[in-house]
Structure 1
Amino acid sequence: MEEENKRDISSLAGKYLTFMLGEEGYGIEILKVREIIGVMEITKVPNMPHYVCGVINLRGKIHPVVDLHSKFGMGVTENTNETCIIVVDVEKEGKPVMVGILVDSVSEVLDISANEIEETPQFNISLDSQYIMGIAKVKNEIKILMDIDQVLADGMGLV
């Protein structure tokens, strides 16, 4: 069992785009990131879950935008000069779908090695542990490695 967990952790090594939600640092696999854009006009759509801000028109294509603060019960994202939308590719029925995620700020791209990653501890935090692939300790900071596919697939109908 421990050998199996080590293999799972080693498969998480790679490049991650890191960003902030409140005071916490998070990372998503860089291969999931399509682009990073400043906050633009978001059109509200009726009858969407509370954490879906609405949709954006990005180069003629319409994409939903999810407020990760709202999704994780952390209130609503306050727009600042650093607030941005990370456009990610996720899969729905085997096809790529682009979804925007609203975050407080983008930090950097980190190359995280397997020995910097630990299993997800089981504890009660605002981010449900099913959304966490692992916890990385990099440059004396902790980064929560987020399973963005799971976050966006869970109960949304968007993906």
Structure 2
Amino acid sequence: MEYSMLADIDTGEQSSQFLTFIMADEEYGVEILDVQEIRGWEPCTEIPNMPQYVKGGINLRGTIVPIVDLRQKFGFNNIKYITTTVVIVVKVLVEDKSKTMGLVVDAVSDVHTIAHSDINLPPQLGLDTGPRVIRGLVSIRDKMVVLLSSSLLLDLNQFQNIEQINEHKTQQPMATND
């Protein structure tokens, strides 16, 4: 059995580390074990038939990685990408397979170790919001941080469309120099 939590040596309390980031003047976090790398913003290639919040894809070491603008996904106002705009590349588990996607955020903030007992469940508002992307809420230095479940940020159909692009790319014959 795998655990993505770290044990606090002093108390034995279970905790996890989260990378926090800024989006629309609020702070969010994803589990650090899901983070593969952090990249500066660069334009990406548009992928047809994707929701508007899927900005496109980038070629990351031979794999097409979907880029998701979290501002658009969550319905926030769009802003122009600037020098602090970054893409957090995360590994997610989709149907027991590891997938990679990039999350466009305003800026990276910090890394925090958070005790599981400090994570509060998100409020139940009676809204049908589809898969729950909010893992929980935590107060850090008197500021509320929304912890996200990165595996639920892009649905299965969107990953399948990107998989088809990756398969098509690998099936094309390589050009030869004759």
Interval of TM-score (by shorter of Structure 1 and Structure 2): 0.7 to 0.9
CA distance in 1, matches of 2:157, 2:134: 18
CA RMSD in angstroms, aligned pairs only: 2.4
Structure-1 residue corresponding to 2:58: 56
Task: Write the deviation string for residues 103-153 of structure 1: whole angstroms up to 9, x where unpaired.
Answer: 01110110011343212112489x888211110011121110111111223
CA distance in 2, matches of 1:158, 1:71: 15
Q: Is the 8 A contact 2:50 2:158 kept in 1?
A: no
1:158 correspondence with 2:148? no
How many residues in Structure 1 have an aligned counterpart in Structure 2? 147
CA distance in 2, matches of 1:27, 1:140: 15
Taking CA–CA contacts closer than 8 Å with sequence separation of 6 or more, which of the two structures ends up with the larger relative contact order?
1
Q: Is the 8 A contact 1:35 1:86 kept in 2?
A: yes
Task: Write the deviation string for residues 46-100 of structure 1: whole angstroms up to 9, x where unpaired.
Answer: 2111110000112332111011111111133420111000000012232211100
TM-score, normalised to structure 1's length?
Answer: 0.82
Runs of 4+ in 1 over 3 A off after TM superposition: none
Q: Could you tell which deviates more after superposition, 79-88 or 114-123?
A: 114-123
Q: Is the 8 A contact 1:13 1:113 kept in 2?
A: yes
* 3-state SS, counterpart of residue 157 of structure 1: helix
Percent sequence identity over aligned pairs: 37
Amino acid of the residue matched to residue 145 of structure 2?
Answer: K
